[in-house]
């Protein structure tokens, strides 16, 4: 097995999810695809209500009851040698990375040394057997798991820093105990060791270790935010989703915490998904950026490329609507119009009513999400090249 320099931890394909309401289905997530590599930070950016948080909740399968999952796959990758992961994948759609090649199929059986897979090869379905050691990465489709099978993935595989982190600490338990609870759910770790680990995490996020025996109401906003970050790190997850991690904080604390998160992420070589409406935050932390508009991904690519030369008009509009402290003084351009109603979204490209470059085809047909520049994808009929 050749060591890979970069390999995926998450691949999202054609994710679609609607909310059922009395007025009709709210098309909150439409056909969203992206991938995340090990050690990479992905930023999802877009206006409020464009479906960023819904994407995150779909990944963790934490959707409210009125949510309808309509299709798509979420492949969560681990090493092929991870026993629990392989067992969990039996009978489920999987993706396998083998000698730099991707194979898709359904895992039939797994034992100590090999893995039996129903896969389509050369146009026909056949059963293949693969040695466990040959497999670099095994990805299981999270959407096919039962709730009980999903439980070990939560926090240990994918953890989350919630929007309004202030409220994601339970007011009646000590902060340290809440972090220990998460650890003890996923690994048999005795309390003294767990407390030691909490102390280390607190040090990492810049909190005094004495604070772990305090209640949330004794914390300030910034301290709570740090505690929540420490909690997300508790089980050493593969991926952390940070949903508006700093929105409730003032700008100075916000900047400090973002820098620290970035440092921690680099230090632990962790994969992260940042979700924010604030393009400045995303610019600071993300390696890759996904721009969302009205439930769909409109542009995706390396952050440098996107910030230097956006392809989609919406990305451009979003960037010019935010002030930059650095760089030259430019007039802020507000985007005219309102975000569309997701119950009855506009036909064709959902952005066309607000788009200055819109042509007749935009109204008629949904643009395909294709690679316009190397590694820079966008869904637009009139890309800005």
Query: Which parts of this chain interact with other proteins (CB under 8 A)?
Result: 60, 62, 147, 151-156, 159-160, 162-164, 167-172, 181-182, 184-186, 188, 190-193, 215, 217
Q: Which tokens hold the place of 228?
A: 């929540």
Name which of 172 and 325 has its Cβ closer to other proteins: 172
At residue 64, φ and ψ (nearest 5 deg) are -65, 170
Name which of 65 and 328 has its Cβ closer to other proteins: 65
Name which of 246 and 315 has its Cβ closer to other proteins: 246
Are 318 and 325 within 8 A, CB to CB? no
Q: Which tokens hold the place of 259?
A: 């820098």
Name which of 194 and 317 has its Cβ closer to other proteins: 194
Q: Residues 105, 110, 112, 114: is their CA dihedral positive or negative?
A: negative
Q: Which tokens hold the place of 89?
A: 């994948």
> CB 107 → other proteins: shortest distance, Å?
22
Name which of 61 and 106 has its Cβ closer to other proteins: 61
> CB 244 → other proteins: shortest distance, Å?
12
Inter-CA distances, 13 with 72, 137, 374, Å: 5, 17, 20
Kindly give, in sequence order, each residue whose CB lies less than 8 Å from that of residue 197, ignoring residues fewer than 6 positions away.
Answer: 183, 189, 234
Where do we find the tokens 């451009």? 316
Q: Which tokens hold the place of 284?
A: 């600071």
Q: Between the CA atoms of 381, 372, 241 and 80, what dihedral angle is there, to the nearest 10 degrees?
A: 130
Helix then strand count (H, E) for the chain reads 11, 16
Q: Residue 60 and residue 158: Cα distance in Å, rounded?
A: 7
Are 350 and 363 within 8 A, CB to CB? no
> CB 81 → other proteins: shortest distance, Å?
22
Name which of 190 and 336 has its Cβ closer to other proteins: 190
CA angle 98, 104, 108 (to 5 degrees): 95
Name which of 143 and 163 has its Cβ closer to other proteins: 163
Name which of 152 and 302 has its Cβ closer to other proteins: 152
> CB 29 → other proteins: shortest distance, Å?
18
Sort 296 into a burial class: Cβ within 10 Å, 0-12 / 13-18 / 19+: buried
Q: Residue 98 and residue 128: Cα distance in Å, rounded?
A: 13
> CB 375 → other proteins: shortest distance, Å?
31
> CB 231 → other proteins: shortest distance, Å?
8
> CB 345 → other proteins: shortest distance, Å?
27
> CB 374 → other proteins: shortest distance, Å?
36
């Amino acid at each position: 097995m050749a060591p890979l320099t970069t390999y995926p931890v998450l691949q999202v394909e054609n994710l679609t999810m609607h909310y059922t309401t009395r007025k009709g289905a709210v098309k909150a997530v439409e056909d969203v695809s992206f991938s995340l590599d090990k050690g990479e930070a992905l930023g999802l950016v877009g206006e409020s209500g464009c479906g960023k948080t819904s994407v995150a909740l779909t990944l963790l399968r934490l959707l409210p009851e009125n949510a309808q999952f309509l299709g798509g796959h979420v492949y969560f990758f681990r090493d092929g040698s991870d026993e629990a992961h392989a067992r969990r994948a039996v009978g489920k759609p999987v993706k396998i990375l083998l000698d730099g090649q991707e194979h898709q199929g359904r895992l039939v059986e797994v034992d100590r040394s090999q893995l039996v897979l129903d896969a389509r090869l050369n146009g026909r379905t056949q059963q293949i057997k693969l040695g466990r050691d040959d497999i670099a990465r095994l990805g299981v489709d999270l959407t096919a798991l039962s709730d009980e099978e999903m439980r070990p993935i939560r926090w240990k595989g994918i953890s989350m820093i919630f929007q309004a982190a202030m409220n994601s600490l339970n007011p009646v338990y000590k902060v340290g105990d809440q972090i220990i609870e998460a650890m003890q759910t996923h690994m048999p770790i005795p309390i003294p060791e767990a407390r030691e680990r909490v102390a280390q995490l607190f040090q990492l996020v810049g909190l005094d270790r004495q604070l772990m025996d305090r209640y949330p109401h004794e914390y300030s906003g910034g301290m709570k935010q740090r505690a929540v970050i420490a909690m997300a790190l508790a089980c050493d997850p593969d991926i952390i989703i940070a949903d508006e991690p700093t929105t409730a904080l003032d700008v100075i604390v916000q900047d400090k915490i973002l820098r620290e998160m970035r440092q921690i992420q680099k230090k632990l070589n962790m994969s992260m998904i940042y979700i924010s409406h604030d393009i400045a935050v995303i610019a600071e932390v993300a390696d890759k950026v996904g721009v969302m508009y009205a439930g769909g991904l409109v542009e995706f690519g390396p952050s440098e490329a996107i910030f230097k030369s956006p392809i989609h008009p919406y990305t451009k509009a979003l960037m010019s609507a935010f002030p930059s402290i650095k760089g030259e003084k430019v007039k802020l351009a507000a985007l005219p119009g309102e975000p569309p109603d997701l119950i009855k979204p506009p036909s064709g490209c959902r952005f066309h009513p607000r788009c200055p470059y819109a042509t007749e085809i935009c109204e008629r047909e949904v643009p395909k999400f294709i690679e316009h520049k190397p590694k820079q994808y966008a869904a637009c009929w009139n890309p800005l090249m």
